[in-house]
Amino acid sequence: MNLRKPLLTAALLLSPALAFAHPGHDHSGVMSGLAHPVFGLDHLLAMVAVGLWAAQQTGKARWALPLTFVATMLVGGLLGFAGFEMPLMETGIAGSVLALGLLVALAVRPPLAVAAGLTALFALSHGVAHGLELPDLSSPWGYAAGFVIATAALHGLGYAVARNLPQAAAPLVRIAGAASAIAGAWLLAA
């Protein structure tokens, strides 16, 4: 089981965000954008779950799901920057954690159009939330670049973990999906 390299790489890529934990340091917005998906439990669980779910797929879906999420999330972020508010956005985000966790736990493999449609729906809620939470004095473009990079890294982390597990440890992916689904149910109840 050689998970050290992907985990170390993710830790190194994401750790600079800790240095900018205090407001007023990041006028470019990049570090704030990187931190948002990583330090928000709802976003973190959903982003990793997309990577895990993509790893369970076959063919084009392995790339289509993460790419669909990132692209749609960026569109949602731009809508958020413009002040668009989505009804029940926080419920949609918590629901995405629950749904993505269940999809991973059950190793669901729907047709690509259905999987991409679900992924886009979930991503839109996350993107609008990112856009609405643009920190004061931050560049929207730097912030968007940060949350896109962090999201892609979290998708990649989930994908790499799932694809590099030995066959005997493969059920851990489904267990992680179940844990995410439970967390999503908790977020919905809270």
DSSP letter at 122?
H
Is the pLDDT score of 24 beyond 50? Answer: no
Neighbours of 95 (CB within 10 A): 19
Q: What would the two tokens of residue 106 be?
A: 């059950």
Instruction: Give the model's pLDDT for residue 5.
Output: 72
Number of helices (H), then strands (E), in the chain: 9, 0
Q: Where are the domains of the chain?
A: 29-188
Q: Which amino acid is at 116?
A: A
Note the pLDDT tens digit of each residue in 35-80. 989 999 999 999 999 999 999 999 999 999 999 999 999 999 999 9
Cα–Cα distance between 103 and 174 in angstroms, integer?
9
Task: State pLDDT tens for residues 123-160.
Answer: 999 999 999 998 887 889 999 999 999 999 999 999 99
Q: Which residue has the higher pLDDT, 94 or 17?
A: 94
